[in-house]
């Protein structure tokens, strides 16, 4: 079983749609959680950290459920520029970042 | 004023050759990393250095040897290249003491072994 699992997609949505990505992780001792974004043929960039209480940054909302070992990312009012691969990332107790395979999002006009 | 830079961006070479990829960060970070992203897009850590000392060394063939001449540089040397080494290699850096220790990635080096 992979340490971090995501639905690879692709998710094809129209502009303005709300889309949700899910992620599960296997190591209950994981310490920190993040969503990174990777554009085609570019490097990953931090989108947002994920906190236990849930957190929001504009149109993006991240949730963490430690009991279920589940992380989510909600994008409201999708824009064309949101098209990218979204990587669920977990830091384990050794300090390593473990990346999920990524979920590909394509927002169409 | 690129934060994390890598050279070269593209590398096409024959099996059996030896090649190096260079990485530099100007963020003043104390930790640097090498990641490999394969054709299935999985990004996996290979090595991590903190203040020039190796702290993470994943199960990577010993044909791969990282070298950190100072804390702003982490180079990756690969001996006897194999077809399976074809991938995108990303360098990254972070500041260990920052609250969430965000990692900043370089633009990647696309390696193709023929």
Cα–Cα dist B42/B83, whole Å: 17
What is the least distance, in Å, from the CA of B86 to any CA of chain A? Answer: 15
Question: A31: pLDDT confidence band, cut at 50, 70 and 90?
Answer: confident
Rounded to an integer, the average pLDDT of B46-55 is 86
| End-to-end Cα separation, chain A, in angstroms | 37
- The answer to whether B63 and B80 are in contact (CB under 8 A) is yes
Q: Tell if the CB–CB gap between A32 and B100 is shorter than 8 Å.
A: yes
Is B100 a residue whose pLDDT tops 70? no
Calpha distance A51→A70 (Å, rounded): 12
**What is the token pair recorded at A22?**
């899910």
Q: Nearest CB to A99: which of B42, B100, B108?
A: B42
Task: Please state, as a whole number, how many other Cβ atoms lie within 10 Å of the Cβ of residue B47.
Answer: 20
Interchain contact, B101 vs A34, CB within 8 Å: no
Q: Is B103's Cβ below 8 Å from some Cβ in A?
A: yes
Residues B29-43 pLDDT 10s = 999 999 999 988 889
Quick one: average pLDDT of B15-28?
96
Mean model confidence pLDDT for chain B: 91
Tell me: pLDDT of B102 over 80. yes
How far is A43 from chain B, CA to nearest CA, in Å? 5
Q: Do B42 and A87 make contact, defined as CB atoms within 8 angstroms?
A: no
Contact B106 A91 (CB under 8 A): no
Mean pLDDT of B18-30: 95
């Amino acid at each position: 079983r992979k340490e971090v699992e995501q639905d690879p997609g692709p998710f094809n949505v129209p502009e303005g749609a709300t889309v949700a990505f899910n992620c599960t992780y296997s190591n209950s001792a994981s310490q920190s959680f993040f969503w990174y974004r990777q554009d085609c043929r570019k490097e990953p960039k931090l989108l947002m950290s994920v906190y236990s209480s849930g957190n929001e940054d504009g149109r993006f909302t991240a949730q963490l459920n430690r009991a279920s070992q589940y992380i989510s990312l909600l994008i409201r009012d999708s824009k064309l520029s949101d098209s990218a691969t979204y990587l669920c990332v977990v830091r384990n107790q050794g300090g390593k970042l473990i990346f999920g395979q990524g979920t590909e999002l394509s927002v169409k006009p | 004023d690129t934060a994390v830079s890598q050279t070269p961006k593209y590398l096409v070479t024959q099996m059996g050759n030896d090649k190096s990829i260079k990485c530099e960060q100007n963020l003043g970070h104390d930790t640097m990393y090498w990641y490999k992203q394969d054709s299935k897009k999985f990004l996996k850590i290979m090595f991590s250095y903190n203040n020039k000392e190796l702290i993470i060394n994943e199960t990577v063939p010993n044909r791969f040897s990282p070298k950190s001449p100072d804390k702003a540089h982490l180079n990756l040397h690969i001996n006897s290249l194999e077809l399976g080494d074809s991938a995108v290699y990303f360098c990254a850096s972070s500041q260990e003491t920052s609250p969430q220790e965000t990692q900043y990635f370089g633009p990647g080096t696309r390696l193709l072994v023929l």
